[in-house]
C-alpha cells in the first residue's frame, strides 16, 4: 500500500527516517518510517505501543515485515525458492528484495522468473463498506 501511495517509497523501509521517539508519538506522514526504524532497532512492541498507542496486533504485523527484511539481509544473494516466494507473498517488491540482498532489481526479477514466481498487485478497495445509491 505504501508503494501505491508514493512511487518514490520502497515499501515499509526502516532506512527512510531516523528514529526519533518524539516523531513516534506524533501521527505525521513520517511516522510509518520512524516506526519501521524503531522495529529495526529492536524496540519492543510494548515500548512502541506506549509511544504510539497503535494496537499491538498491527505492530506485530509490521514487526513480521522487518523480521523478514532482516532474514533477506542475512541471506544475501543465497535466496532459496521458499525465501523468495514468502518475500513476494508478504508483499516485498523486486526492488525491496534487491536492496535487502545488495543486488539489482533486474537480477531479482530474473531469479523470480527462473523459479516461476509470478507477482500480482493487491488492489485497495477505496469504497469498501460504502453503499451506492
pLDDT at 4 > cutoff 70: no
H or E, element range at 89? helix 81-89
User: Looking at domain 2-114, which of 1.10.1030.10, 1.20.1440.230, 3.10.20.30, 3.90.226.10 is its CATH number?
Assistant: 1.10.1030.10
- Model pLDDT, residue 28: 82
Residue tagged 543465497 (cell numbers): 78
- What the block records as the C-alpha cell of 70 is 532482516
pLDDT at 112 > cutoff 60: yes
Name the CA radius of gyration of the chain, rounded: 16
pTM comes to 0.79
Q: Write out pLDDT tens, residues 115-124.
A: 999 876 666 6
- What the block records as the C-alpha cell of 124 is 485497495
Amino acid at each position: 500500500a505504501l508503494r501505491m501511495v508514493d512511487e518514490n517509497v520502497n515499501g515499509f523501509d526502516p532506512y527512510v527516517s531516523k528514529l526519533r521517539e518524539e516523531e513516534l508519538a506524533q501521527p505525521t506522514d513520517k511516522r510509518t518510517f520512524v516506526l519501521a526504524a524503531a522495529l529495526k532497532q529492536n524496540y519492543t512492541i510494548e515500548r512502541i505501543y506506549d509511544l504510539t498507542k497503535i494496537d499491538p496486533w498491527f505492530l506485530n504485523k509490521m514487526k513480521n515485515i522487518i523480521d523478514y527484511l532482516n532474514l533477506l539481509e542475512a541471506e544475501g544473494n543465497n535466496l532459496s525458492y521458499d525465501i523468495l516466494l514468502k518475500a513476494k507473498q508478504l508483499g516485498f517488491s523486486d526492488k525491496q528484495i534487491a536492496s535487502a540482498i545488495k543486488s539489482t532489481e533486474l537480477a531479482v526479477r530474473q531469479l523470480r522468473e527462473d523459479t516461476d514466481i509470478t507477482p500480482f498487485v493487491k488492489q485497495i478497495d477505496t469504497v469498501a463498506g460504502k453503499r451506492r445509491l
